[in-house]
Structure 1
Amino acid sequence: MSKAAERGEAEVALQAAGFGGRGTPERLGGLTNRVYRAGGVVLRLPGQGTEAYIDREAETVAARAAAVAGVSPAVLHADAASGIMITEAVDGVTMTPALFAARPGAAARAGAAFGRLHRSGARFTARFDLFAMIDDYLAVLAPRSVALPPGWDAVLAEALGLRPLLGAPDLPLAPCHCDPLCENFLDTGARMWIVDWEYSGMNDPMWDLADLSVEARFDAEHEAEMLAAYFPGDPPAADLARMVLLKAMCDLLWTLWGLIQLSDGNPAEDFRAYADGRFARCRALMAQPEFAAARDSLLR
């Protein structure tokens, strides 16, 4: 589809939802969806194949609750059947790993936003269960001719051995974003907004912190800044240990997600390289001494 045709489709969607006449839609980012800004609103058109693994009803519940919690823009229109969503626009800088490193206080603002979300008392309808999602993603890939990375079976076996530690029924659950890609953060310099609630659900809150640390490539200083803004006091040792383990598990899960994008023919980027890079980092994280130390501390 040409850019002109894409803009035309966006204009039609805005008009149908009652938000027409706001000027030519400007294409923004997005790995799986097409996102446009028109005037003071942002339009999300769902990507091909996303209906196989995204619950749009649950996404809408989460996006509205996150707005009430003050961490996400207000939802102005949501159609679960089509996947079309329109939200208020936020005049913030779309973050990247480099911007998280360069903008003073950005890691702290992200940590504070997660704190507001996780302690908001919201109840998301979806449950983000790492091991169930691994099973689901493998089931999606099973009939497709996409090769898993070399060494996958051994890494998966080690990861599944963590289920008693990371999937225990007594672990705390909180409303979580679950996909804290840097580009899902908009920074005003005074406040960090979080957008895109497709993968959100009730989850171990350490997932959000672990995943952002990985996505933003935080060094020890920036990670400490995020944690200081998130925790009201000293971080509990068990939380920090789970965070270490979950950093690797984030890369494991998103390896499979990347392979699904590859099998869907998503042209947004080279998803073979994306998946292989994720898997390589997962293996590297699992090989670090702190990974074994965190696992052993939780076993005691």
Structure 2
Amino acid sequence: MKDIHEYYVRIPMLKDMPVEEITAERLGGLTNLVYCLTYKNQKKLLRIPGSGTDEFINRQNEKHDAMVAAESGVSAKVLFFDSSDGLMLSEFIEGDTLNEERFQNLGSVRRSGEALRQMHQHGQKFKNRFDVFEKIDEYLTLVKKLNADVPDGYEMVKSEAKKIRSVMEAKPVDLVPCHCDPLAENFIDNGEKVFIIDWEYAGNNDPMWDLGDLSVEANFGQEQDKVLLESYFAGPPPKDQVSRMVIYKVLCDLLWTLWGVVQHANKNPVDDFWSYSVGRFERCKSLISQPDFKDHLTTI
């Protein structure tokens, strides 16, 4: 890992600043190194891309999508972006970084639903399509290339996903610009509005993916799901959309299981990604085995 100061010289806004007067505070991030930089009481966000991320992230697309998200009003203005590797400087958003505990506040859930609706209804599309089934195939190719292990029983669940795929493809919906990786920590709440950061995996997608994935990532209960859906739809949600959200809960765990396997194989030091993968896979199996899951497949 290079010294953080070596990245400053690549960024016009930073390269002429006295290094000793810039303070860098390490923030969260599963695959990247993220810092809050402070210079003369002005804060910026520096994102240094993690090792191996260029294998599954198109940085040209990310640059475009991050700028579109900023234009929509739900994300931070991008000040610098190097598409060759993903080095990025953006405005710093003040507020609470959300997590499972903070999402117990239903106001944060409501504001997050409103932010997702604002993004989804933005007129400009993203660069690429995010298709969960294509992504699963892409990650399986990477897993094979890396000669990585997958949790026991993965192939069996993947075969169930093929049945789900046939149902979903028979009932297509209009695609909208989606975040596609709505970790709780990608939501910043200032008490009046929620902002969404980190657009690496963004793409045009079924909007219910974002709601289902957020529900899983933040471990929402029934009341939180209800508030999220009602805030998103500004009223009672259509039954078919509720079912699509539930189905995507299963599919997102299936996908991110493979993502974690790739991180583990790449020896990403940020977290124990094998445990992460196994945990997600077990939750996926639990969701797909619920008695009412097949009912959702017939409702969409």
Q: TM-score normalised by the shorter chain: which range applies?
A: over 0.9
Which residue, out of 210, 213, 217, partners 2:212?
210
Do the aligned partners of 1:181 and 1:215 also contact (CA within 8 Å) in 2?
Answer: yes
Asked if the contact 1:93–1:187 (Cα under 8 Å) also holds between the matched residues in 2, the reply is yes
**Residue aligning to 2:116:** 114
The 1:29/1:172 distance shift into structure 2, 3 A limit, reads: same
Amino acid at match of 2:66: A
Question: Which residue in the other structure is 1:18 paired with?
Answer: 12
Shift of the alpha carbon at 1:236? 1.6
Alignment of 1:89 with 2:83, yes or no, is: no
Q: Post-superposition shift, 1:104?
A: 4.4
CA distance in 2, matches of 1:120, 1:218: 26
- The CA distance in 2 between the partners of 1:92 and 1:168, in whole Å, is 42
SS at match of 1:148: coil
Three-state SS of the structure 2 residue aligned to 1:37 is strand
Q: Secondary structure at the match of 1:202?
A: strand
d(CA) in 2 for partners of 1:267, 1:24: 24
1:125 aligns with 2:123: no
Provide Cα deviations, 1:120-151, integer angstroms capped at 9, x if missing partner.
Answer: 11210111001100000000110323211111
Equivalenced residue count is: 291
Is residue 146 of structure 2 the alignment partner of residue 144 of structure 1?
yes
CA positional deviation for 1:168? 4.4
Equivalent residue, structure 2, for 1:59: 62
State whether residues 49 and 264 of structure 1, in contact with CA within 8 Å, keep that contact through their aligned partners in structure 2. Answer: yes
Q: How does 1:242-253 map to 2 (within 5 A)?
A: 242-253=244-255
Secondary structure at the counterpart of residue 66 of structure 2? helix
Counterpart residue number, 1:184: 186
C-alpha displacement of 1:234: 2.6
Return 5+ residue gaps in structure 2 as ranges: none
Contact 1:131-1:167 within 8 A present in 2 as well: no
Q: Provide the rounded CA distance (Å) in 2 between the counterparts of 1:204 and 1:164.
A: 15
Instruction: State the secondary structure of the residue aligned to 2:219.
Output: coil
Q: Which moved more, 1:15-24 or 1:74-83?
A: 15-24
How far apart are the structure 2 equivalents of 1:258 and 1:168?
Answer: 30
Secondary structure of the corresponding residue to residue 13 of structure 2? coil
TM-score (norm 1): 0.94
Q: Deviations over 1:156-180 (max 9, x none)?
A: 0001111123334732200000000
SS at match of 2:215: helix
Q: Is contact 2:253–2:284 with CA below 8 Å preserved after alignment? A: yes
SS at match of 1:126: coil
On the 8 A contact 1:100/1:106 being kept in 2, the answer is: yes
Contact 1:173 1:202 in 2 (8 A): yes
Describe the superposition over 1:255-278 as per-residue Cα deviations: whole angstroms up to 9, x where unpaired.
000000000000111111000000
CA RMSD of aligned residues (A): 1.4
Q: Give the 4+ runs in structure 1 shifted more than 3 A.
A: 167-170
Look up the match of 2:242.
240
Aligned-pair identity in percent equals 43
Task: Measure the CA separation in 1 of the matches of 2:199 and 2:132.
Answer: 16
Match of 1:35 in 2: 34
Task: Choose which of 194, 197, 207 in structure 2 pairs with 1:195.
Answer: 197
Which ranges in structure 1 are unaligned for 5 or more consecutive residues? Answer: none
